[in-house]
Amino acid sequence: MNGNKPIWTRSPKDVEETDYDEFYKQFSKDTESPLTKTHFVAEGEVTFRSILFVPQKAPYNFYQEFGKHLDNIKLYVRRVFITDDFQDMMPRYLSFIRGVVDSDDLPLNVSRETLQQHKLLKVIKKKLVRKALDMIKKMNPVDFDKFWKEFGTSLKLGIMEDSSNRTRIAKLLRFFSSYTRDDETTTLSEYIERMKDKQEHIYFIGAQSRQEAEASPFVERLRQKNYEVLYLTEAVDEYALQV
């Protein structure tokens, strides 16, 4: 660490990966290094510094307790810790994101209730979501596959809940397909690029597993005609596809 200067106040080019890992493990109580991170300064209507992390693994019972408050974002004002108990610093579909936010533009000597309703905090929340989705989008394919196995269902729920970021989330979604093999997945844009001339519809089937989908006479007929079929193996898939 660089003396007593908080890591998020330093320029990213001056921070080593080992520093990020050490900081992440210390504040998150995680034993593993993060899967990815983003360290940035946001400017405009409000200026703030932030580091956001994606953990390697989903929290225990994450989907069974989906929507339960997780104190994963720590809010600072002028380097003074304020709270990690604002329940909507991140929408619930991104509640696994961990990080810190620090702004000089927020008032320091006000109640948490007043601060939670502050208009600039709402701007910060909006920017945090955009930065988090951008961080996920920029992950390399290997890390994204790990991410998708842990948090893919959460993003599918997010596309139904977050209308303002629906297009951004849609670009991140992955589905099993008759074109892909085994555990491989495809994006909707990749499917559309492979569509046959004059094909007007996206073909899909709901099933408990890839094997069940492939055994379907419906899929067999389409594959014989060289149409690609998406295999929707989670209950949320069909809803996410049709939003």
Residue 2 falls inside a structural domain:
no
Q: Which pLDDT score is estimated for 1?
A: 43
Q: How far apart are CA 177 and CA 214, in angstroms?
A: 9
Structural domain boundaries, residue 180: 142-242
- pTM score of the predicted model: 0.90
Give the chain's domain count. 2
Strands in 73-77's sheet, in edge-to-edge order, are 36-42, 48-54, 98-103, 73-77, 80-83
Among residues 139, 156, 191, which one ends one of the domains? 139
Domain termination site, one of 104, 139, 174: 139
Does residue 65 register a pLDDT over 90? no
- Answer with the one of 89, 105, 139 that is the final residue of a domain: 139
Give 222's contacts (C-beta < 8 A, 6+ positions apart).
178, 203, 229
The domain that holds 206 is classified in CATH as 3.40.50.11260
Q: Could you report the per-residue pLDDT of 115-157, keeping only the tens digit for each?
A: 888 999 999 999 999 999 999 999 999 999 999 999 999 999 9
Residue 1 domain-assigned (yes or no): no
Give residue 190's pLDDT: 96
Owner of token pair 């842990």: 150
